[in-house]
Structure 1
């Protein structure tokens, strides 16, 4: 059985609530022309890492496994969840999967990168039914632990708290 532990980040606020004010989003993370913002959800959760040997060096290092987060609408109500794949599922049952298209360093130290993802829906109607692109912005926390992974700890799981805003874009 794999051991699990959580890394706590000093000063990280994980309170759910309205999405943060729109950030200055780098040009490389712009959705396709014609896509319109249709939904903004805030995420509060963890980024999961596993201590394992790397293919390049054979040494143990933290490897990203996936996210696990709750999604909140701008009024602070829970609106769905986000998980490994990655996928986003709204409380109405609609679901999309994403594939990273572009990445930019987060402006906040110790925060996971900002992303632009291409989205593919499962065909169901609902809040996420027409989503074509997703931006991950306003990130805090979530980066791989800096220590605690060596050959004797292979298989251990690190769950690092993070927050982010996800902006969902659709074609008209």
Structure 2
């Protein structure tokens, strides 16, 4: 009988340790930190993170004459198109433009106005801070005041030649960035 109780106690201990280990692995990820970001793209004090997403998509550029010199040509930004995924990889919405629009799968959406940019690593689009306009629809985007674009990878204009012969040609460039959504605290 004592051997059965000892075995049962041992099994209960193993089960408890397994359960505690499973619970520990389900702990929420730490909240986004602005530490290490340039001051120009930091959200002002008095706001809190309400949503963290990973935008995975593409940016379209078009070969056009420069606005101030019609004899010179450049790759001009046309617009982005990206899926907004949660940290778990589940699609939560989309990002597209112009105008820059973040749309949640729940039907709410925001547009915004760029406040600041800061250089990112070579070959990546800049970090960005956007002041959000009031949301349309109600849901995840309701009350969002700022959107940060951080952790950018790729997305810069193509290195291909752009001249009069190629005017009007469009090129699509892949990119990824974290979009962090903030509301007043």
The normalised TM-score by structure 1 is: 0.84
Question: What are the equivalent positions in structure 2 for 1:36-115 lying under 5 Å apart?
Answer: 36-58=48-70, 59-84=72-97, 85-106=99-120, 108-115=121-128
TM superposition shift of 1:127: 0.7
Tell me how far apart the structure 2 counterparts of residues 22 and 47 of structure 1 sit (CA, whole Å): 27
What is the Cα deviation at residue 121 of structure 1?
A: 2.9
Q: Larger relative contact order (C-alpha < 8 A, sep ≥ 6)? A: 1
User: Moved runs in structure 1, 4+ residues, more than 4 A?
Assistant: none
> Aligned-pair distance for 1:30?
1.4
Contact 2:135-2:141 at 8 Å conserved across structures? no
- Superposed displacement of residue 148, structure 1: 2.8
CA RMSD of aligned residues (A): 1.6
Write the distance in 2 (CA, Å) between the matches of 1:100 and 1:110: 21
Match of 2:15 in 1: none
Show the 5 A alignment for 1:24-39: 24-39=36-51
Q: Post-superposition shift, 1:29?
A: 1.1
Question: Whose helix fraction is larger, Structure 1's or Structure 2's?
Answer: 2
The 5 A counterparts of 1:160-171 are: 160-171=173-184
* Corresponding residue to 2:166 among 133, 153, 165: 153
For the pair shown, the structure with the greater C-alpha radius of gyration is: 2
Residues 69-115 of structure 1: CA deviation (Å, up to 9, x unaligned): 11101111011100011010010011010111011000x21000000
Normalised by the length of structure 2, the TM-score is: 0.78
Per-residue deviation, 1:22: 5.5
SS at match of 2:44: coil
Note the residue ranges of structure 1 that are not aligned, 5 or more in a row: 1-17
Count of paired positions: 152
- In 2: Cα distance, 1:77 partner to 1:69 partner: 13
